[in-house]
Chains A and B, each alone.
Chain A
Amino acid sequence: MKETPLSACERTFLLKAVEEKKRLDGRQTYDYRNIRITFGTDYGCCTVSLGKTRVLAQVSCELVPPKDSRPTEGIVFFNLELSPMASPAFQPNRQSELLVTLNRQLERCLRNSKCIDTESLCVVSGEKVWQIRVDVHVLNHDGNLMDAASIAAISALSHFRRPDVAIQGRDITIFSPEERDPVALSIYHMPICVSFAFFQQGTYLLVDPCEKEEQVTDGLLVIAMNKHREICSIQSSGGIMLLKDQVLRCSKIASVKVSEITDLINKALENDKRVRKEGGRFGFAESMPKERITALKRDEAPVEMTGVQEMAEEFLSKGEAAPEVVSSPVIVATGTGQLGEGVQSTWGLEEEDEEDECQGEMDKEEKKKKKAEKDEVMVISDSEEEEVVVLNPEAPKSKGKRPKH
């Protein structure tokens, strides 16, 4: 499927908004969107919503023989999939650049930083170890997939419980969850990725870009940190030139954001543990809000209103006197009318057309309806070989079976 192209007008507007430090949904430049972390009924299943971006992570485990080069360590395997349901730009079974980038970044952030104790995953050295597999699926793409995927992966890993094993000599007994409580993985620290989007050759930067902002960005810098202020990975992408101080500044911002997000994850884990212990209901079904059409619902976006009054007053004092308001439409030409603040537009030649359009559109609708009333039966058929619909209301007799030329 093809996605909607970005028009030149949107691009200029977004860049202008970035220069004025305004974002489309009213956030500040260093703010994240609302993060919601929910866990499923099984251990190791986690959904993260970052604004409208939704990502699902699932952890599973299996006993396998270890790698030859590392006989005493378990294996951790990451896999991220871009499902076509997430965005019209994703096509199935295609190895796109974005997929490779996200997968490698996730691996580097979580595996190379050694956040999981792989030695504890060893059951019988050289023969059987646990292989932990983390599958991340992107459900809805509204920008910043990297951060959402890393939060989902690390939350799922913290939530996961593997079955308990007992070793007697060479026999391995795996206990099911009913026989013995499953054991949590030992996680040293929680690395979280923070994405910075750069605009205008690195002059402006934004945290957590949404999809529209991502389309006009020059480049991206992803820094993965944990709350102990250790940097786990840095990766710059896109053809941007950075300066050393920019990278250092970004790392400072990232440390603040990461500690907030880590608190959020811990709180969500606590909540889930508490609910399970108390025997309350838990899982995805509980976390979905009921009775509403969720597709078209939007949370109220706080839009900054300060300073608008002063600006408005400034404009009023500087501008000319407001032109008179005409309440009944002034017919300029057939099919066009003008209404409202003055008959002549003061904004320049091009804008004249737009004002006319808005009013003209309304007049046209009225006229169309009037025209339809004149005839007995007005059949709007799909075939284009029948009559021509003429928009000129001054010639009512023009409705005839005139063949198209």
Chain B
Amino acid sequence: MEAVYSCFREKLGQVILPGDVFCFDVSAVEGSAVRAERVICGPGLRRNGDEILVYKSGILRHKAPNLYWIDSQQKRYVPVKGESVIGIVTAKSGDIFKVDVGGSEQASLSYLAFEGATKRNRPNVQVGDLVYAQFTIANKDMEPELVCIDSCGRANGMGVFGADGLLFKVSLGLVRRLLAPQSEIVKDLEKIFPFEMVVGLNGRVWVKAKTVQQTLIVANLLESCENMTTQQRQVLFRRVAEGSL
């Protein structure tokens, strides 16, 4: 384990650029037998034989026990298979809906890809609605396709939503921070007042709180979390919490 960690540890928390390579020289390890190590490459890292290549610029981050990824700052989203995004329905043509996900082209969403939808029983989707869906096809050669059900045929939280509430855009780095399992930002925000939030990996976030005022506060706080350190953020949240409650 040490071999891998030592390679990464030097660069942990530093800025690395695309083209940097982490190569594990097995022969350099002395002493005890080499054990099979497992390294999970998150976004920004890719495996190439015995090396790990970096393809996004940013800061190297690590999560125990063996997850590594690059924290990058990017505003434009490129569709990736399996990611869940918030899309806006722009057109209904025949059997499919055209959905804008913020990428280079619009994705298509078949009307049968909703829970309980059949040819007779069409889902109630209008132009201008928000949908939370997942990519089934997202590569450079084909038009991206979305579905609102998982492989079992259940909605699983996806579908049309958001009759009220506010939709806004943040950078992709912030979205990943929000979606991390123990996100501190979300925990801090929960303490201020209750709200609902849907986060799409294409940088779109939807929030709804009990009043318009609270919704605006939450939206502004989230947008300002982009470039603040943890301390500044906590100070700001505490100020807001004292002002409101």
Direct contact of A and B (CB under 8 A): yes
Stretch at the interface among A38-46, A90-98, A133-141, A366-374: A366-374
Tell me whether A242 is interfacial, beta carbon within 8 Å: no
Which residues does chain B contribute within 8 Å of A355, judged by CB atoms?
Answer: 196
Q: Which of A305, A358, A365 contacts B196 (CB 8 A)?
A: A358
Tell me whether B102 is interfacial, beta carbon within 8 Å: yes
Total chain B interface residues with beta-carbon distance under 8 A:
70
Q: Which of B60-109 contact A (CB under 8 A)?
A: 67, 73, 75, 81-82, 84, 88, 90, 100, 102
Which residues does chain A contribute within 8 Å of B215, judged by CB atoms?
Answer: 13
Q: Which of B196, B227, B240 contacts A354 (CB 8 A)?
A: B196
Q: Which of A5, A6, A353, A390 contacts B157 (CB 8 A)?
A: A353
Interchain pairs with CB closer than 8 A, number: 166
- Contact assessment for A300 and B224 in the assembled complex, using a CB-CB cutoff below 8 Å: yes
- Contact assessment for A4 and B213 in the assembled complex, using a CB-CB cutoff below 8 Å: no
Stretch at the interface among A19-27, A173-181, A233-241, A270-278: A19-27
Tell me whether B31 is interfacial, beta carbon within 8 Å: no
CB distance from B78 to the nearest CB of A (A): 11
Which residues does chain B contribute within 8 Å of A362, judged by CB atoms?
Answer: 179, 181
- Contact assessment for A308 and B213 in the assembled complex, using a CB-CB cutoff below 8 Å: yes
Tell me whether A389 is interfacial, beta carbon within 8 Å: yes
Stretch at the interface among B5-13, B19-27, B51-59, B146-154: B146-154
Q: Which of A10-32 contact B (CB under 8 A)?
A: 10-13, 16-17, 20, 22, 24-26
In the bound complex, CA of A358 to CA of B217 (Å):
19
Nearest-neighbor residue (CB-CB) of A6 within chain B: B128
- Contact assessment for A26 and B216 in the assembled complex, using a CB-CB cutoff below 8 Å: yes
Interface magnitude class on chain A: 35 or more
Q: A298-B224, A312-B245, A383-B139 are in contact. Are A8 and B129 (CB under 8 A)?
A: yes
- Contact assessment for A298 and B223 in the assembled complex, using a CB-CB cutoff below 8 Å: yes
Q: A9-B165, A373-B38, A391-B151 are in contact. Are A360 and B196 (CB under 8 A)?
A: no
In the bound complex, CA of A366 to CA of B166 (Å):
28
Q: Give a binary string over B176-210; 1 marks a CB under 8 Å from any A CB, 0 the rest.
A: 00011100000000100110111100000010101
11 A–B contacts, CB within 8 A, in A order: A10-B166, A22-B212, A22-B216, A25-B220, A297-B227, A308-B214, A355-B196, A360-B157, A361-B199, A365-B180, A389-B81
A-B contacts besides A357-B198, A391-B151, 20 pairs, CB < 8 Å: A8-B130, A9-B206, A13-B166, A20-B212, A293-B73, A298-B227, A301-B220, A303-B220, A305-B240, A315-B210, A335-B156, A357-B157, A358-B199, A361-B84, A365-B180, A365-B181, A377-B47, A382-B139, A383-B139, A388-B151
